[in-house]
Amino acid sequence: MSDGRDRDDTDRNEIDRDEAADVDYDAVVVGGGPAGCSAAVFLAREGVEVAVFDRGRSSIARCAHLGNYLGFPAGLDVETVYGLIHDHVERAGGELVDDLIESVDPIESGEQRGDDAAETRFRVTPQEGEPVTARRVVAATRYDGEYLRGLDDDAAMFEAHDHGGETHEHFDREYADPDGTTPVDGLYVASPSEAAQQAITAAGRGARVARRVVTDARIADGWWPAAAEGVDWVRREAEREEEWADRDRWVEWFDERHADAPVDPDAERFARVREAAIDAALSAYVDADEAEARASEGRRALADHLDPDALVDAHGAEALLDAMDDEDVAAYAEEAR
């Protein structure tokens, strides 16, 4: 469930990157279709420094029209979808790179984090630009997966089949687990998968994989699994009971919930994770003014991707005015005076 938080609102939830200066990105997403962009949005909103490499060859581009994408009753053209999902990535804080990835190679690290777990690193080489380094890679494109060769045994990653008397190989859709994890530490697969058959299920798959990436990144930073799993949504402040406005109440709640945590409750690590988790919980509440401001910004962002000329040509100027929010029309008229 998305909450529409801006990039600035995620600062208190950022995954600790004090030692991240030696890599270009926390995560690189290969593919800018629904799966890749959905993953990137969830990652960026959690403070993960993420780049999406895309050259506009997503399989969604082959569609004449999307009719099953929830929230658009009459369907949506592919160009508008592409513009919307890429805008979403950038608004969330992700970076879009217009390039194809040719290879992903592991890098020997040897560097240790506080919990003595070695970090995985990859060198990601694009077709035209300079190679970049990343802690994690999310494969989110349906093309052949050749760029992943060498990360694992080919027999494990690829399936062979006969066609026209010749043997062909393609990436095994069952190579990754349902949450996107693979036998290769730091490599996740959002696509190809069975979910890639529809744009809306592909987007859901990308979100699920990103949640797994965030959880794993937190665990690498000292969180334990039960604390690392989070929920990304916003709640109305008015619905919060008075007792939960007190931070001490949240401390009690956390200590009770994690009484059996594999970490000493008196340890600095426990306190650090607790503070970060409580910060995340408290930041999820917004007052009525903030909720309305976000709703207005969301409508404006959607309007930015509409073609008013096309709407007028097809349905007349009256249809364009009917589609606009009355308050936005009045505000625009006031500014134009």
Structure tokens at 70: 């929830």
Rounded Cα distance, 283 and 122, in Å: 33
Structure tokens at 47: 């403070």
Rounded Cα distance, 8 and 145, in Å: 35
Domain ranges of the chain: 7-220
pLDDT in tens, 228-244: 987 667 889 988 999 99
CA distances from 22 to 25, 134, 327 (A): 9, 9, 48
Rounded Cα distance, 145 and 187, in Å: 13
Rounded Cα distance, 229 and 211, in Å: 8
7-220 folds as FAD/NAD(P)-binding domain (3.50.50)
For residue 82, the one-letter residue type is: Y
pLDDT in tens, 4-60: 434 344 333 344 433 444 899 999 999 999 999 999 999 999 999 999 999 866 677
Say what the pLDDT of residue 331 is: 63
Q: Does the pLDDT value for residue 308 go beyond 70?
A: no
Rounded Cα distance, 92 and 42, in Å: 8
pLDDT in tens, 191-249: 888 877 889 999 999 999 999 999 999 999 999 999 998 766 788 998 899 999 999 99
Tokens 């690290």 -> residue:
109
